Amino acid sequence: MNLKKNSALLGTILIFLFLSYHIYINIEDENKQEQQNLVINKTFIESSPNVDKEYLGYIEIPKYKIKRLIKKGTDKKNLDDGYIGLLDNTAIDKGNTVLAGHNINKIFKVLHQIEKNDQVIITTYSNKYVYYVTQKREISVDDFSYFENTDEKLLTLITCTDDNNKRLMVRLKLLR
């Protein structure tokens, strides 16, 4: 009987720890989103004279109320700090812009729900680009064909899936 009580207590503790961890992650992500909104407002909307050029711009997914700063590079630190990373050898202002972000709330988790024709906006210091979703699919982690540069102005968004061998890829075209 004692073993049954101990197992039930252990199960309750594990559930509590699991829920606490998820609450902590959500609060941490909300804090990062608030901090980034302050930077976005100061840097891109209010046009502060003390512009911090470490940011390339920001991405906005209006349907899901997402706004995130974009930094060059998809290294672990950038992504873990809640930024959207611009893949090396791509640019925001020409060809195929490839952006990556973590598959968590308020970052790119919404890509799993995004639908054809949903809009995504990229705002830089000098331009605003409005894209619409044309394609969404899971790809192999070894499939780099969607990262290749193109003559056409495209946006490619990448995030993780629950399968370590797959990534979710969302392809968008520039709205004219």
Would you please indicate which residues are annotated as catalytic (active-site) residues?
102, 160
Secondary structure percentages of the chain, helix, strand, coil, to 5: 35, 30, 35
The residues that bridge with 27 in the sheet, in sequence order, are: none
DSSP string, 58-124: EEEEGGGTEEEEEEE---HHHHHTTPEEEPTT--SSSSEEEEE--SSTTTTGGGGT--TT-EEEEE-
Q: How, if at all, do strands 119-123 and 128-140 pair?
A: antiparallel
Residue 96 burial (CB count, 10 A):
20
Q: Which two tokens stand for residue 165?
A: 């061998």
End-to-end alpha carbon distance in the chain: 70
Contact between 56 and 72 under an 8 Å Cβ cutoff? The reply is yes
Give the contacts of 40 (CB within 8 A, at least 6 positions apart): 58, 67, 69
